[in-house]
Amino acid sequence: MLFLCLLLLNFLSLHAQENVKRKQLFDDDWRFFLGEETKASSDNFNDKDWRKLDLPHDWSIEGKVHPKNPTGAGGGYFPAGVAWYRKTFTVPENWKTQKTAIYFEGVYMNSEVFINGKSLGVYPYGYSSFSYDLSQYLKYGEQNVIAVRVDNSQQMNSRWYSGSGIYRHVWLIQTNPVHIAQWGTGISTFEISAKKATVRVETKLMNETESLQEITVTALIQNPNSNTAGRHETKVVLSPKSEKVVTQLIKVSNPALWSPQQPFLYKVLMQVAKQKKIIDESIVDFGIRSLKFTAENGFQLNGKTIKLNGGCVHHDNGALGAAAFDRAEQRKVELLKASGFNAVRTSHNPPSEAFLDACDRLGLLVMDESFDCWKIGKNKYDYSNYFNAWWKRDLQAMVLRDRNHPSIFMWSIGNEIPEREDPDAVNTAKMLSEEIKKIDTSRPVTSAVVNGGKNWDIFDPLMAQHDVAGYNYNLDKAPQDHTRVPSRIIVQTESYPKDAFKNWELVQKNKYIIGDFVWTAMDYLGESGIGRYYYSGEVPGEHWENDFFPWHGAYCGDIDLIGWRKPIAHYRGMLYNDKEKLYMAVREPAPEPLEIKQTWWSVYPTWESWTWTEYTGKNVEVEVYSKYPKVRLYLNGQLLGEKQTGEQQEFKAVFTVPYASGSLRAVGVANEKEQESVTLKTAGEAVQIKLVADRKEIKADGQDLSYIAVELRDREGVLNPNADRRLTFKIEGPGTIQGVDNANLKDFEPYQSLTRKAWHGRALAIVRSTHEKGEIKVTVSGDGLQPQTITITSI
C-alpha cells in the first residue's frame, strides 16, 4: 500500500507538470470584430483596431433588445449576425515532435476555423464540442494566428435565446504522436456492493507514427480521500498509423457510492509509457453507482428507488447571456439544489462541461439531451437543415464527451419532434438509440414526446424504441397507458408549474412513473412571454399567439433570472423534501375593476410581501404552504384562524384577510403545539441599500465571478417589495461589472450596463475578475438611498 501511495504521489506530480502541456486554456487575449470581414482569415491581416477580450464571449447579450431584431420573440429580440475572432500565439520549436489540436467546447453557430489562413472546417451545431488538428499547419518558432468566423445571421434558427459567439472555453491540446484519443477513456462500474465494485476502463489509443509502438498503459484509481483504490497495467503493441481499444478491469474495495446526497467522486489516472518513460497521461473523474429501471420498482440508484423532482433548464446565464463561465454554471447547480431539485433536463441540447462537472460535485442527476428537432424543423434555419449530415457526429460528441459523468442517468435524443406521428420517426429513434448504445449501454434512452391532445396509444411504436417513455404534459393518461403497456417506464419530461401537486401525487403513487420535470426550473431568455400573467384589457393569448414585446424572456421558472426562489419553488420543494416545512406568500391583488389572467405555463402571482397599503381594509388572499398538519395565521398578534394543511388539502391553506399594515405571522402546528413560524412585515419607504456577495474572494484569473445581490430596505431593514428606484453601479480595482439584472423580463434595458432599476426591491450585479490581484470595490447608489459599498478580494 505504501508503494502504491508513493506511486500515486509521483503520478500526480508528473501529471501536474504534463497537464500544463497536454491541455492549456486558450481563452485569453483574443481580438473580436462584429461584422463581416472577408480577409480576416489571413495570418497577415491587421487586427490591431479590433476589440480585445477574453473568452467565453456572447456578443448577442451585449446588444440592444429590439422588436425588429431578426431573432424575434423566440430569440428574445436580441441581435445576431456574423462576427470574427482572432488570436495570435507563438509556437515553440520543440512542439514539432508533438501533436497539437485546438478544442472548442461550444461556438454558436456555423463556425469556420482557420490556422494561418488555412480553413480547418465548418461546424454547424452550436452546442457540440469539437476539435481540429493544427500540427501540419503550424509555424514552429514563429507567431501563428487562429481565426474563427461565427455565422448566426440565418434567423430564426432557435426557439429560445441561443447567444452568439465562442461562448464556451477553448483549449490547446498537446500530445505525443502515441496518445490517448480525445474523449478516449470510457469508465463504467458494475458488480457493485457495499464490499466491492468492478471498474471497467476502456481506453482508445492512437499511434500516429509510421512505426510499430510497444507501450504500457496504466490505470490508477484514486478514491474520494485521495488514496489509491486500485491499479492495472497492460502492455500494448500498436501497428503504424493505427488505433486500438484497451479494456482494463479493476476491483475497488468498500466503494463510496455516488448519489445526490453523497456525491463521492473517484479519479482514474491514465498513463501511457514507452520504455518506462511517460509519453501521455490524463485524469478522468467518475463515480461508482448502479442504475436500474423497471416498471415494478421505477428508477433505482444504488439499489434504492428514487423519485425525480426534476426541472428543465436552458443554457443561458441570465445577464451573462450564453457565456458559460465556470462560476455561473456552478451557481446554477447550487440554485437548483437549494430549491430542492434532485434532477435536471438539459433542454434541448448538451450543456457545458462546467455544468456537468458541477452536477457531479454537488449531486444533481442529469438527463442529457441532444436535439430539439430531427428531419423536420420548427424554424426555417434550425438543426433540421443539418440533421441528415451531422446527427451521428453530434450524437457521438455528446455521448463520448459526457459518458463518464456519474450525474448523467439518462440520454434524451429529442424534444417534441414534429414528425413524431410519421412511421419514419420510429426508424430515426431506433437509429439514434442504437448509435448511443454502441458507446454506452449503462444508461437508458428517452425523448420528450408531446401528444398534442391525442391518446398516447398512437405513439406506442415510437415509445417502443425508447427504454423510458418521456411524456411532455398529460401525465394523467399514464395509468391507462400502464394498463395497455404494463412494461412501460414513464417520466414526465415537461409539466406545467401550476400542476405541481397533481404530478407529485401521480409520481408518488405509481412505481412505473419515475419523476416529473417542470417547465422550467429557472427563468430564461427567449421564448418571450411564456409563463406571463396579464391584466384584463391587455393583449390576451399564449406566447406564440402574439408579439408581446417588451417581454423578451420566459417567466415560467421556479427560480427567477437573478436567482430568487418564487413561491412556487418553495411549494414544489416542500412536496419532495422535508428541509423546509413552512412558507407564506400573498396573492397579488388586482386593481379594481381589472382581473389577473393566467396563461398555460403561469402560476398566479404571489409574493413574499405584506406591503399592500393601497388595499387597506380590502380582502387579500394569503397562501400558507405547510408540511405540518395545521397552520395558524396571526395579524398583529391576533389569531385570524386555523386550517388543516395535510395531503388532502395539498399541503396548502388559503386565508382571506382584510389588509392592515403590520406583521403577518404563519405558524405550523403539530400535536396542538406551535412548532415554527414565518413572518411578513409591512415595509416603509426604501431608504437604504443592502449588498450581499455570494463570494467575497474570487480568483484573479479573468474568469471568476462574484454575484452581488442588491436589496432596497426601509429604516428597520425590511425589504420594500414595491421599490423600483434606478440604481447606479460603480466599480474600482481589478474587476469589471459583467452584467446587471433585476429579473423583470419586460425591462429591456441593456444587461451590460452600469445602471438598472430595481424590481420588487431587488437587483443584481455580476463582478468579473481580471488577471490582477487586489481589492475590488463596488458601490451602489440611487436617489433617496444611502450609497453602499462592498469589497471583493481578487486573489
User: Which sequence positions are flagged as catalytic?
Assistant: 416, 494
In terms of phi and psi (left: phi > 0; alpha: psi -120 to 50; beta: otherwise), the region of 71 is alpha
At 711 the three-state DSSP class reads: strand
What's the CA gap between 407 and 261, in Å, rounded?
12
Backbone Cα Rg of the chain: 27
Geometric angle at alpha carbon 612, from 609 and 618, rounded to 5°:
125
At 556 the three-state DSSP class reads: coil
What's the CA gap between 531 and 160, in Å, rounded?
14
What's the CA gap between 165 and 58, in Å, rounded?
5
Geometric angle at alpha carbon 198, from 409 and 467, rounded to 5°:
30
Residue 391: closest CA among 365, 417, 359: 417
198 bridge partner residues: 190, 251
Strands 762-769 and 705-713, bridge-based pairing: antiparallel
567 bridge partner residues: none
Type of residue at 711: E
Cβ atoms within 10 Å of 484's Cβ, excluding its own: 11
Positions of E strands within 348-489: 365-369, 408-415, 445-449, 469-472
Strands 774-782 and 785-794, bridge-based pairing: antiparallel
Cα distances (Å, whole numbers) of residue 586 to 31, 48, 580, 592, 619: 50, 57, 18, 17, 11
Within 8 A by CB and 6+ apart from 416, the residues are 372, 448, 449, 450, 472
8 Å CB contact between 216 and 273: yes
- Dump the DSSP string for 288-332: B--EEEETTTEEEETTEE--EEEEEE-S--GGGTT---HHHHHHH
8 Å CB contact between 628 and 643: no
Type of residue at 175: T
What's the CA gap between 281 and 302, in Å, rounded?
31
Type of residue at 365: L
What's the CA gap between 651 and 743, in Å, rounded?
28
Alpha helices (runs of H) in 524-599, residue ranges in sequence order: 567-576
What's the CA gap between 490 and 470, in Å, rounded?
6
What's the CA gap between 102 and 610, in Å, rounded?
56
174 bridge partner residues: 100
735 bridge partner residues: 769
Cα distances (Å, whole numbers) of residue 524 to 79, 221, 244, 330, 410: 17, 40, 44, 16, 23
CA dihedral 743, 744, 748, 751 (to 10 degrees): -10
